[in-house]
Amino acid sequence: MIKINNSAILFAFLLMLSTSLCACSTALVPLQNDGVPILAQDELIRPYTTIGRIKVIRESYGSDSSLTPDIQAWALVAVQQEAYKMGADAVILPEVTGRTTTYGVIPSTEYWATGFAIKFK
């Protein structure tokens, strides 16, 4: 009969959890509810200072249909994560643009996600 104590089960669980977290650490992970909010102009009721402009670029080669995540969702998450790194309280004026060019026969699309990181006074 095999006897397993609680610490062995806990160790196995933590090992599986750390392995799964390490495998996904380079992907953009959506922020939780406590992340940096994206605010519309009419939601700004307090004075603020602009910390800086955020610009995130994503380039995709080939067909756009190969991109699994929604570009708008990717853009908002990317801007939120960059604002969080800057210590911002919120993001205003988010914008998503893109441009497709063709190199020979291979199309390339470049997407820009921009916004302004702000800090409330």
What's 80's domain CATH number? 3.30.110.70
Residue 5 lies in a domain: no
pLDDT digits (tens, 9 = 90+) for 28-52: 444 444 578 999 888 888 999 999 9
Helix (H, G, I), strand (E, B) or coil at 102: strand
Confidence of residue 18 (pLDDT cuts 50, 70, 90): low
The rounded distance, in Å, linking the Cα atoms of 105 and 28 is 30
Residue 57 lies in a domain: yes
61-74: average pLDDT? 68
Residue 4 lies in a domain: no
